[in-house]
Structure 1
């Protein structure tokens, strides 16, 4: 379980493909605090630490993860949002984030807005995910509030701190991001679909 508050930015050092799996080596300033078998969210994807070597650690993404997320587009030298699992009893500063990406989305617009930014994303509506204005959304692991919700697109407002301390500073039109929709909204939508 995560909160969507990005703890640090990691650096992708190496990606090795083995059959359908990707082994990803990441350098970070929290590596010395990690342990084998620990869950860490990588751009919102919950992955297990399988090896640690100095200031780098390795995680493996299986084919299901590769198909549903943007992880196959990562390249060595790129940054990645990192968050360790929350501790029981900690404050929930973001919202309940599972680290289970529902689908990817595409950045279709970026607008500067008097010291902040408005980012707009579109997604495949056929996968039955929804957003609502003032509801929660997770983009590459970052907990955000929806400011404009449409059938297959939404916008979020990004403050300077979030812009500088996450991957948002690297986004441009066409960037593919991981989306995890609000877990409560997913249950409500499923119940509604079952009653229809």
Structure 2
């Protein structure tokens, strides 16, 4: 489990094509301080498993299913990525509950800067709209954010200078693809409602 609070920006060092998968090598520092083989690290919001460790570089195997359903498809050496270690029980939950399981891929539509923040509009698959509410939580490329306005096929978020400086969302441009994970609590509520209706009938 993660919190959506990005710990550092990593750099893709290599992408090895394995046919129906890739082996992704990423340079990092902070997330490797206590990392071990088999640990989970979120990469742009995708939960990946540490397969090898070598100095400041770690690798993860990314299967075809993940490539098909996330923005990790097409990642190239030199790209920057948001990184977060799995949360431990003794840490503050600074963002919200994030699983690292991408629900869909969105597209940056526009950016509107102001003096102290920037409003970013993101198009999303319409199937995700039912999980978003104004002032609710959304994870974009692994970053825990608050929805400003939710619509049927898009939403907006306001990014503070800290988020712009410390995550890839500071450089994402219109047309760029981003990973989206909706609030898992909303999905559980939706799943429970039919059973609750049957019990009360």
CA offsets per residue over residues 41-98 of structure 1, 9 Å max, x none? 0000000000011110001111111111000121100100000000112110000000
- Alignment-derived partner of residue 9 in structure 2: 9
Secondary structure of 1:72's counterpart equals: coil
Tell me, yes or no, if the aligned pair for 2:128 and 2:182 is still in contact at 8 Å: no
Deviates more, 1:44-53 or 1:67-76: 67-76
Q: Offset at 1:113?
A: 2.0
Which moves more between the two structures, 72-81 or 126-135? 126-135
Deviation at 1:129, TM superposition (A): 5.0
Give the gaps of 5 or more residues in structure 1: none
Instruction: Output the CA distance in 1 between the equivalents of 2:3 and 2:110.
Output: 26
1:112-160 Cα offsets, whole Å, 9 max, x none, are 0222100010111146653100100000000000001111110000000
1:193 positional shift = 6.5
Q: Report the TM-score, using the length of structure 2 for normalisation.
A: 0.92
More displaced stretch, 14-23 vs 94-103: 14-23
SS in 1 for 2:89: coil
Alignment partners' CA distance in 1, 2:132 and 2:107: 15
Residue 164 of structure 1: aligned partner: 165
Residues 79 and 129 of structure 1, relative CA distance in 2, 3 Å threshold: farther
> What is the CA–CA distance in structure 2 between the aligned matches of 1:50 and 1:35, rounded to whole Å?
9
Change (3 A) 1:19 1:97: same
TM-superposed CA distance for 1:186, in Å, is: 1.3
Task: Please say if residues 107 and 175 of structure 2, whose CA atoms lie closer than 8 Å, have aligned partners that are also in contact.
Answer: yes
Q: 2:101 corresponds to which residue?
A: 100
152 and 36 in structure 1: CA distance in 2 versus 1, 3 angstrom threshold? same
Name the TM-score, length of structure 1 as normaliser. 0.95
In 1, distance between residues paired with 2:127 and 2:115? 35
- Give the 5 Å matches for 1:61-140: 61-126=62-127, 130-140=131-141
Corresponding residue of 2:57:
56
Instruction: Find the aligned partners of 1:74 and 1:39 in 2 and give their Cα distance.
Output: 19
CA contact (8 A) 2:45 2:179 kept: yes
